[in-house]
């Protein structure tokens, strides 16, 4: 399996599938999952001739589990090193939930940073487009300018539940709000619940606990620094990152559009896979 040794000694797992000479698409997963959660999108686009790449964020999946570095800036730098190593250019970024946060920070910094990476890849040419699905931007934490966000008490409550019994909490989340299985007449998939649980429990406790702090990040300056097309996709019934948070993203970008998934839950790449796949394909072809 492919691993990249990062500059701080952490080993980062990644997948590089599809057409090696095709247009590249990079995926960043949500909390507390790993690159496996993108399998439907990667399989779909890979079969359409695209080069599809995804990593397991440090502390998650098959990547190493360091004690430190579980924060937005380090995650963005990890992605930068992977892009440098793979010599990627003109990449469309696709981030779900927390993955939308690290890709927003990465995209903003890659456009602002000039010069060449270790392997000769010009940084300003790394990113072509950005897709944010159910993302934590512009800020998940409630603020006067974002009243629909989650109050600090809610974030602290999630920390407390992990400290009390992470195993039970990691069943409660997918059985309820993540996939929208707590809604009346929902078609419940035990397989999706178990897959979420397995991926979550594979991650280090330190990483998933520290990630909660990233949800307090204000990404407005990052978004304003972007000069690329940005597609925002958000479900109107997202119980994890409220729709009132995600729909504000387009207010801070120069070239953005919002696509609403009526009644859609947080887990759009899973529950609305066909729609998400077609949205990605259409955006890639533009």
Question: Which among 64, 78, 102, 238 is annotated as catalytic?
Answer: 238
What are the C-alpha distances in Å from 123 to residues 4, 42, 105, 165?
19, 24, 14, 43
Residue identified by tokens 């990404």 is 219
**Whether residue 125 lies in the annotated active site:** no
Under DSSP, the state recorded for 281 is H
**Whether residue 238 lies in the annotated active site:** yes
Q: How many CA atoms lie within 13 A of 283 on its CB side?
A: 27
Question: Which among 28, 63, 80, 97 is annotated as catalytic?
Answer: 97
Helices marked H in 17-116 — which ranges?
39-46, 72-86, 98-112
**Whether residue 63 lies in the annotated active site:** no
CA distance linking residue 183 with residue 170, whole number of Å: 18
What the block records as the tokens of 230 is 């940005």
Instruction: Quote the Cα angle for 273-278-283, to 5°.
Output: 125
- Which residues lie below 8 Å from residue 274, measured CB to CB, with a gap of 6+? none
Question: Which among 28, 102, 266, 279 is annotated as catalytic?
Answer: 266
Catalytic residue IDs:
97, 238, 266
């Amino acid at each position: 399996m492919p691993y990249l040794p990062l500059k701080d000694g952490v080993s980062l797992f990644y997948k590089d599938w599809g057409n090696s000479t095709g247009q590249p698409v990079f995926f960043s997963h949500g909390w507390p999952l790993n690159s496996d959660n993108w399998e439907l999108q990667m399989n779909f686009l890979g079969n359409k001739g695209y080069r599809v790449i995804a990593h397991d964020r440090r502390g998650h999946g098959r990547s190493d589990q360091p004690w430190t570095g579980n924060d937005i800036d380090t995650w963005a730098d990890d992605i930068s090193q992977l892009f440098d190593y793979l010599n990627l250019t003109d990449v469309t970024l696709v981030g779900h939930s927390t993955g939308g946060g690290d890709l927003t920070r990465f995209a903003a910094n890659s456009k602002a940073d000039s010069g060449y990476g270790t392997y000769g890849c010009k940084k300003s040419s790394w990113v072509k487009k950005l897709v944010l699905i159910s993302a934590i931007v512009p800020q998940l934490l409630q603020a006067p300018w974002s009243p629909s966000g989650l109050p600090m008490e809610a974030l602290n409550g999630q920390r407390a539940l992990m400290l009390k019994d992470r195993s039970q909490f990691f069943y409660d989340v997918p059985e309820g709000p993540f996939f929208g299985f707590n809604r009346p007449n929902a078609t419940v998939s035990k397989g999706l619940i178990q897959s979420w649980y397995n991926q979550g429990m594979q991650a280090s406790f330190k990483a998933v606990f520290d990630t909660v702090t990233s949800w307090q990040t204000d990404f407005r300056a990052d978004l304003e620094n972007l000069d690329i097309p940005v597609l925002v996709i958000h479900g109107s019934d997202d119980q994890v990152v409220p729709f009132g948070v995600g729909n504000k993203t387009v207010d801070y970008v120069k070239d953005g559009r919002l696509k609403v998934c009526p009644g859609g839950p947080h887990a759009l790449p899973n529950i609305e896979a066909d729609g998400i796949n077609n949205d990605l394909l259409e955006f890639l072809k533009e």
